[in-house]
Structure 1
Amino acid sequence: MIGPVKKTTHEYGDRIGATAVLRVGAAAAVLDGDRLLLTRRSDNGEWCLPGGGVDPGERPAETAQREVLEETGLTVRVTDLLGVYSDPDVVVSYPDGNRAQIVGILFRAEQVEGTAGLSDEVTEVGWFTAEEAAQLTLIANHVPLLPTAFGTDRPYFNEPVH
């Protein structure tokens, strides 16, 4: 008998990141007019900007391009740095038991070729306006990135708590 499928989840708590490792990631904000490319993750069903972990020997901008291609089949070119994000009050808990506070780098990327489709990591893809994206269940770390991703806010960073 097969047991229940384990999913990637989030843990929340005051400075819970101190109980986990840091993991560097990169994500891409790809626009088509006023619509932003978002993917629905196969591991937890939540929507997000395409992205993933930076591999050793890889530049974060290369990670963003690679992850968009792997997750959607769309070839993109990174054009701008949009921000850096990390929330010490959120930990990603993976099915294998690993736990990480993500330090993410957000890039603007433009389409080069291809059509966005599905992969093992993605169950749905879509191009969403800001209003449509606000109605989706997004992963916690990407929610505050949306205004910057849509180009309506300044570069993003988690402001220090005073």
Structure 2
Amino acid sequence: MAKIIYGDRISKLGKVTLGCSAAIFDSTRQKVLLTRRTDNGRWCFPGGRMDAGEDATEACVREVLEETGLHVRVERLIGVYSNPHLIIEYADGERCHSVALHFEATSIAGTLSISEETTEYGYYSLNEIVSMDVMEHHLERIQDTFISQKSAFIR
């Protein structure tokens, strides 16, 4: 189960990993796609770790496909997130200091579905998301996504 641990510069206890996530808007651009994780039952953007030998957009496209069944085109970088005061601890005890690239992406094909990593999905507005059990490290990304700033956030 993935959980977040907070502490002053606690990320120095984990290994640095690079990940990607995607904000996929509905046709009204008022709601974004979130998925519910199988490991902890919490909501987040589709995404995950980058593999060796792929670039950041390839990682984003692969992770979205694996988790949602959607083929996407990456449109722009929303932000870079690297909070040194949290680590992600996985069920196997691995601790990671995540550096996440958060992209806006557009669905171009595929059928939205659950996967081995997701139990549920849906498009939600910012007002709806406020009352959901969202992974803490995705809250800032969610807020930044709805701001629609042209330049990328560096956080």
Q: Helix, strand or coil: the match of 2:24? A: strand
Corresponding residue of 2:41? 45
Corresponding residue of 1:24? 18
Corresponding residue of 1:4? none
Amino acid at match of 1:105: L
Q: Runs of 5+ in structure 2 lacking a partner?
A: none
Corresponding residue of 1:118? 114
Distance of 2:135 and 2:112 partners within structure 1: 20
Corresponding residue of 1:15? 9
Q: What is the aligned-residue RMSD (CA, Å)?
A: 1.2
Distance of 2:33 and 2:21 partners within structure 1: 11
Distance of 1:95 and 1:109 partners within structure 2: 29
Matches within 5 A, 1:40-119: 40-119=36-115
Distance of 1:86 and 1:54 partners within structure 2: 15
* Larger Cα-atom Rg: 1
Distance of 2:64 and 2:21 partners within structure 1: 8
Amino acid at match of 1:21: K
Q: What percentage of residue pairs aligned between the two structures are identical?
A: 40
Q: Tell me the TM-score normalized by structure 1.
A: 0.89
Q: Runs of 5+ in structure 1 lacking a partner?
A: 1-6
Amino acid at match of 2:42: E
Q: Helix, strand or coil: the match of 1:135? A: coil
Stretch moving more, 97-106 or 148-157: 148-157
Question: Which ranges of 4 or more aligned residues in structure 1 deviate by more than 6 Å?
Answer: none
Matched, 1:156 2:153: yes
Distance of 2:108 and 2:148 partners within structure 1: 23
Corresponding residue of 1:3? none
Q: Tell me the TM-score normalized by structure 2.
A: 0.93
**Matched residue count:** 152
Return the offset for 1:151.
4.1
Give deviations 1:52-102, integer Å, cap 9, x for gaps: 000000111111111111001011110111110011111111111110010
Distance of 2:75 and 2:101 partners within structure 1: 13
